[in-house]
Amino acid sequence: MILVIDVGNTNITYGVYDGEELVASFRMMSKFERTSDEFGIMIKDLIKTNGIELENIHGAIIASVVPKVMHALTGAITKYLNIKPIIVGPGTKTGIKITTENPREIGADRIVDVVAAFEKYGGPVLVIDFGTATTYDLVTADGCFGVGITAPGIKISAKALWTDTAKLPEIEIKKPASILASETISSMQAGLMYGQIGATEYIIREVKKQAGLPNCKVVSTGGLGRLVSEETEMIDIYDPALTLDGLRIIYSKNSKKL
């Protein structure tokens, strides 16, 4: 078994794989500072709570966009699981050729997502991750990743509404019954959800048009990805485990222990 860890701006998501099967997953918030001991104890407890014996885990891999977490987290994996984790970064084998102007600027989470989408669904493929930011990344048929778009995520937009205005309340992010809203909460929900759907469809159309790839597959993931994916026919596949699968795939390319 291997432990895969995706450190995002909002959450740290953990997955345990037995071969290609995801047998457990769990999360903790990434905004709180923790020591390596705190990380280690929490990770051990969560693994055991999911019915997994610690001695069965022989490998680990981490992709992170939050550098300040890494020292304590890697220390925890080393100390409490007795494993030296693979860190996704420059030099990591991925099977994808990054052709952007500055490959080192590409977030590890985006690399992991495009690796998984290309391996699972082939190319060309446009990968949309509805996370803290909404990202759109294009991989060509021959496995080149050189195009990416970054937009504010739905939660960022929602937070801006209720923190930067005097009277708008904090609301649940969901699609209202109609875009023809008649009161404040549903009007905010309509603006957020239909605005995101409209922006998503427009960006997909423009990417396909300007890249000359009208039949490009579109794969989405991320916490709020299901809400958007269910409302548009322009997204072909919603894959909630895409990032974790990408970590598993990259681990297999960089370690002999499977």
Q: Is the peptide bond before 90 cis (omega within 30 degrees of 0)?
A: no
Q: For residue 181, report the phi and psi dihedrals to the nearest 5 degrees.
A: -70, 145
Residues annotated as catalytic (active site), given as ranges: 109
For domain 2-87, the CATH class is alpha beta
What kind of architecture, by CATH, is found in domain 97-240?
A: 2-Layer Sandwich (3.30)
Q: In the chain, where are the structural domains located?
A: 2-87, 97-240
pTM for the whole structure: 0.91
Please give the Cα distance from 27 to 214 (Å, whole number).
Answer: 37
Instruction: Tell me which residue has tokens 């102007």.
Output: 101
Please give the Cα distance from 65 to 60 (Å, whole number).
Answer: 17
| pLDDT per residue as tens, the chain (258 positions) | 999 999 998 899 999 999 999 999 999 988 788 999 999 999 999 999 999 999 999 999 999 999 999 999 999 999 999 999 999 998 899 999 999 888 888 999 999 999 999 999 999 999 999 988 999 999 999 999 999 999 999 999 999 999 999 889 999 999 999 999 999 999 999 999 999 999 999 999 999 999 999 999 999 999 888 999 999 999 999 999 999 999 999 999 998 654
Question: Can you say whether the dihedral through the CA atoms of 208, 210, 211, 214 is positive or negative?
Answer: positive
Whether 97-240 and 2-87 are alike in CATH topology: the answer is: yes
- 137 beta partners: 127, 148
Yes or no: say if 85 and 2 are a contact pair by the CB < 8 Å rule. no
Please give the Cα distance from 62 to 84 (Å, whole number).
Answer: 10
